A and B are shown apart, each in its own frame.
Chain A
Amino acid sequence: MLDKFILLVEDNPDDEALTLRALKKNNISNEVHVARDGVEALDFLFCREAHADRNSASQPQLILLDLKLPRMDGLEVLKEIRANPLTKLLPVVILTTSNEDCDVIGSYELGANSFIRKPVDFDQFMDAVRQLGLYWLVLNESGDRR
């Protein structure tokens, strides 16, 4: 399970902490790499700039992607992920505060695998993260493994 790490793209430190806690509480002990914005997330995935020395063959088991991000927003990041053969099959779950139609529809159109609204009520979020972990980390084998 160790190499099955998660990439969390989140600019809000509170949300980051809460998400990490939720994962921990749900016994999802995979390593979580956090990117603070869209550009950083893509640099990490494509082993550029600061991450140039990273092994590009090592890709996250799951990407949790916030939509509202500095520099490059989540939908653009998603578009880049899906455009690159290296990452186009990675499962991407959109994590967002918004429930605007354009966000939901846009995400799915660009190839998001799931869409989770970050609820204010933390119980609900915990619940959602638990199911998320079960599905994407345990039950569903990532495409590049097939």
Chain B
Amino acid sequence: MREIQVREITAAVERLCQEANYFLGEDIIGALQKGLQEEISPLGKDVFRQLLENAQLAREERMPLCQDTGTVVLFIDLGQDVRLVGGDFNRAINEGVRRGYLGGFLRNSIVDDPLGGRVNTGDNTPAIVHLRLVPGEKVKLVLAPKGGGSENMSAVRMLAPAQGAAGLTDFVVETVCHAGANPCPPVVVGVGLGGNFEEVALLAKRALLRPLGRPHPQHFYADLEKEMLEKINRSGIGPQGFGGRFTALAVHLETAPCHIASLPAAVNMNCHAARHAQVEL
């Protein structure tokens, strides 16, 4: 049994909040450079130029890439041989968020009561935490700040198994096209397939954590990802919806076993940034 002090969790969360908001992944920078070269629309090309310049500025000046520094979504893989000591685990996580946002000049975007006062909590807490128990004695934290504009364009649909791959593709393309310019295209599209009502949404969110350009390990699903990306990019929506070839940078699909009666599907929309940062303790 390995003991980990919860204050180590606080420190890690604080750092990850800032890293994820200041530093754009190299995989995404590569995709933006490709877009800059290949986009045929002049307005679209200029969007790529601006996003690349924005990433450089954010990195150099430690400014958030986007003013919407998001809801903190934290994926934790907790080794079952770890014993957390020195305080309340959930409190330690939220203390890390508080320090990360206040100390890092990140925007507080959480309100306390959805229909009540909608009063800002003032420190961007609470985080949304997804905890998995895994073998071993390590703790892996993946922190993904999620912006509201793209989250609002996301959708879950309970398809019939008979609708199959074609039904899934229609749903995904329709969701992205309906979103238009709202989620700040070029987007990264997280797709969940299988599981049940709540699990499929989580699969779609986890799909956003995959490095850009890495296809699904199964050929069938990798081909489906490619087909959906091509269809989305034939829509003409383009960067920021100004018209163009690059509406999405990637479609990532994650799957899970499901009920004989069901084919749950979910689309979690993300802007180009697909922000996340991780650490293993």
Task: Report whether chain A binds chain B.
Answer: no
**A contacts, CB < 8 Å to B:** none
Interface residue ranges, B against A (CB under 8 Å): none
